[in-house]
């Protein structure tokens, strides 16, 4: 595939209120869709997907989530609420409204999927479609946590500890995240790799990314438990995709069976033949799954 790194897109910093600015790339014309990256990536992870969605007739918005990449990194609090998915989702809604999009589709991968889900839950009148990639609701992961989950997803619990993960990662962030693994530049694409490396090399970004995980095990879990107790569900059409060469299905079975309890309009989905970072590894297959869904 020829590399066309966000050709035709415009990069900007956009004020979304409460002292937070998001670094954003936008492009295209048509029904809007916002793409939300996961850890430890930035919005550039979508560079092989976003241009294809534009070519298919969509407006595409790709932000760095708060705390990630070159977006603002607000001071945290004891309850980690500034890095809750509710705070991040509110950023997304304000970002899209500021760009003139009162209604839009949301696609999220990994940690971005939790933000995407929260956007659909908290702003149901704004979200037209929800696609979640490689995730279950946080509370579902935690309630299924067993020895296999703890061994495979140990980083959730390590990242939630105070101070120690910062010291470990910042000692050699490129080594921690395997940024110089042979073939890594080609796998990510040169520009995406450079953006990723710059992000993980910034201690403030590392700390903010860890706050995302700390919020996940505390305030985010509590919010999801409250949703479930109140019977709140995602009401827009929802698509569930996962990487066949990652471990989500191995650990938890078919993710659609879990998401069925959290949605009222589940439109199916399925595995993508890829490792975890499907937007980089299998962009064509991912786009082929997203486009029919976004047209529903």
Spans of all domains in the chain: 10-294
Residue 94: pLDDT above 70?
Answer: yes
175 pLDDT tier (thresholds 50, 70, 90): very high
**Distance in angstroms (rounded) separating the CA atoms of residues 244 and 266:** 20
Average confidence (pLDDT) over 260-283: 98
Record the tokens describing residue 157, joined without a space. Answer: 């619990």
pTM to 2 decimals?
A: 0.98
Reference 93, options 70, 67, 73, 63; nearest CA is 63
Residue 68: pLDDT above 60?
Answer: yes
| H helix or E strand, kind and range, residue 283 | helix 283-294
Catalytic residue list: 110, 276
Average confidence (pLDDT) over 173-201: 98
Average confidence (pLDDT) over 205-214: 98
End-to-end Cα, the chain, rounded Å:
28
Query: Phi first, then psi: what are they for 38, rounded to 5°?
Result: -110, -165
Task: Bin 189: left if φ > 0, else alpha if -120 < ψ < 50, else beta.
Answer: left
User: Sign of torsion, CA 284 31 99 74?
Assistant: negative
What's residue 4's pLDDT? 78
Strands 104-109 and 127-133: parallel
Q: What percent of the chain has pLDDT over 70?
A: 99
Average confidence (pLDDT) over 54-78: 98
CB 228, CB 139: distance < 8 Å: yes
What's residue 225's pLDDT? 98
Q: What percent of the chain has pLDDT over 90?
A: 99
**Residue 231 CB contacts under 8 Å (≥ 6 apart), including other chains:** none
What's residue 1's pLDDT? 42
Record the tokens describing residue 58, joined without a space. Answer: 């969509």
**Cβ atoms within 10 Å, residue 291:** 14
Average confidence (pLDDT) over 54-59: 98
CB 250, CB 159: distance < 8 Å: no
Cα separations in angstroms, 231 against 123, 227, 285: 16, 6, 34
3-state DSSP assignment of residue 66: coil
Residue 138: pLDDT above 60?
Answer: yes
What's residue 185's pLDDT? 98
Average confidence (pLDDT) over 195-205: 98
CB 91, CB 85: distance < 8 Å: no
What's residue 3's pLDDT? 61
**Cβ atoms within 10 Å, residue 32:** 21
- Determine the CATH number of domain 10-294: 3.40.50.1820
Q: What is the pLDDT of residues 6-49, one digit of tens each?
A: 999 999 999 999 999 999 999 999 999 999 999 999 999 999 99
**Distance in angstroms (rounded) separating the CA atoms of residues 40 and 218:** 20
């Amino acid at each position: 595939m020829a590399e066309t790194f966000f050709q035709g897109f415009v990069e900007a910093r956009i004020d979304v209120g409460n002292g937070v600015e998001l670094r954003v790339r936008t492009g295209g014309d048509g029904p809007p869709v916002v793409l939300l990256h996961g850890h430890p990536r930035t919005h550039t992870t979508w560079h092989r997907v976003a241009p294809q969605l534009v070519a298919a007739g969509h407006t595409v918005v790709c932000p760095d989530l708060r705390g990630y990449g070159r977006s603002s990194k607000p001071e945290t609090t004891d309850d980690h609420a500034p890095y809750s998915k509710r705070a991040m989702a509110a950023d997304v809604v304000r970002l899209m409204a500021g760009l003139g999009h009162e209604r839009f589709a949301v696609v999220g991968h990994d940690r971005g999927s939790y933000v995407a889900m929260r956007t659909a839950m908290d702003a149901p009148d704004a979200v037209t479609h929800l696609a979640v990639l490689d995730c279950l609701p946080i509370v579902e992961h935690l309630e299924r946590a067993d020895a296999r989950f703890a061994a495979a997803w140990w980083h959730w619990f390590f990242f939630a500890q105070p101070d120690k993960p910062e010291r470990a990662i910042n000692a050699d962030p490129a080594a921690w995240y395997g940024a110089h693994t042979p073939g890594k530049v080609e796998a990510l694409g040169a520009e995406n790799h450079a953006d990723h490396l710059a992000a993980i090399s910034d201690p403030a970004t590392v700390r903010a990314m860890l706050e995302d995980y700390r919020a996940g095990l505390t305030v985010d879990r509590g919010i999801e438990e409250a949703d479930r107790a109140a019977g709140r569900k995602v009401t827009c059409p929802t698509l569930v995709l996962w990487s066949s060469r990652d471990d989500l299905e191995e650990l938890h079975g078919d993710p659609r069976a879990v998401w069925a309890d959290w949605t009222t309009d589940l439109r199916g989905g399925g595995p993508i033949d890829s490792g975890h970072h499907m937007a980089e590894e299998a962009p064509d297959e991912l786009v082929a799954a997203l486009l029919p869904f976004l047209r529903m």
